[in-house]
Structure 1
Amino acid sequence: MRTLVLNAGYEPLAIVSFKRALVLVMNDKATIVERMEEDPVWGTQRSYDRPVVILLTRYVRLPGGRRVPVTRRGVLRRDSHRCAYCGKAAATIDHVLPRSRGGADSWENLVACCLRCNNVKGDKTPQEMGWELRLMPRPPQGAHWTVRGTERTDPRWEPYLALAA
């Protein structure tokens, strides 16, 4: 069982284990916002509700904002596993401006690509091939990208994740 942790300003911070969330609540570092109705946890002196969403009692400052690291899996997920050139199922990624020409490994230069288009394009640009991108590559945004573990969300988290989008 997992728990969504909200900063004191209701900003989604992380997904933690149920045990970690319960320790934060027991140490008065967080309060329970959403709980499971059944199966309380029995301690030596009292019982605790099972936390689904907790709110930190003190604001945690995050250094330098959150940047989503560029990964192959992330690019494929951002582009819904669809080729940016033909729209078919994509299993590889492609540099719009090839690395051999100075193209960077960045969200703005990487797109999902099917194997066929990737091989045909080679080290050319889409303009040289006469191709158009079906989408403009840009960094992903929203809580589903900055909070780890939100790929498999609990329906009770949705209102809190939607606030951050």
Structure 2
Amino acid sequence: MGKVLVLNASYEPLNITNWKRAVILLLKGKAEQLEHYENFIYPTFPFPSVIRLRHYVKVPYKDIPLTRRNILERDRHSCQYCGYRGDQLTLDHILPRSRGGADSWENLVTACVRCNIKKGNRTPKEAHMPLHKSPRKPYSSLHFEIVKCTKDNLNHEWRKYVIGI
């Protein structure tokens, strides 16, 4: 408890804030409460879990940088070939760089050292190593934070407001 998903007036995820900021937005009438926790701040006022702004806020487009950390986050720190989770993870080019493969969201995946060596200078199809899921560019950097906050069935009520988790 303590984290609150903030939705735009269009129900688009906008931010994650703390419960104090969410309560202020609710009391000022700038937001409405859509979901709440079982605990109460006051007998008639439950802790908010999801709030929606009453007026639409235009959000500027922000590109997500292609970094090792972001690739690991997108792939949930697991090998996309065998599912291994651990510290010994590398980045693998689906189409190897030596064959013209680019550094892009769609061409990079997380792989364990064993699978990366086994695949070598081949494509997954040539190596008979299918990917668990096709890589793609994340919707937003907020997506990473929402995935973290909904792990282990935490904040399960957020799932109906977010695509792709």
TM-score by length of 2: 0.70
> Matches of residues 127-146 of structure 1 in structure 2 within 5 Å?
130-135=126-131, 137-140=134-137, 146=143
* Alignment of 1:106 onto 2:104: yes
Q: Please say which of residues 26-35 and 139-148 is displaced more in the overlay.
A: 139-148
Aligned partner of residue 150 in structure 1, secondary structure: helix
Deviation track 1:54-99 (CA, whole Å, cap 9, x = no partner) reads 11011112223x6554343443454451343xx2526221123344
Q: How many residues align?
A: 154
Contact 1:31 1:55 in 2 (8 A): yes
The CA deviation at 1:157 is 1.8
Aligned partner of residue 148 in structure 1, secondary structure: helix
Q: 1-side partners of 2:141 and 2:161: how far apart?
A: 11
Aligned partner of residue 145 in structure 2, secondary structure: coil
Aligned to 2:114: 116
Aligned partner of residue 148 in structure 2, secondary structure: coil
Q: Please say which of residues 133-142 and 101-110 is displaced more in the overlay.
A: 133-142
Aligned partner of residue 75 in structure 1, secondary structure: helix
The CA deviation at 1:17 is 0.9
* Alignment of 1:70 onto 2:71: no
Match of 1:59 among 51, 56, 60: 56
> Matches of residues 13-52 of structure 1 in structure 2 within 5 Å?
13-41=14-42, 48-52=45-49
Q: Which stretches in structure 2 are left out of the alignment for 5+ residues?
A: none
When the two chains are superposed, the root-mean-square deviation of aligned CA atoms in Å is 3.4
Structure of higher CA gyration radius: 1
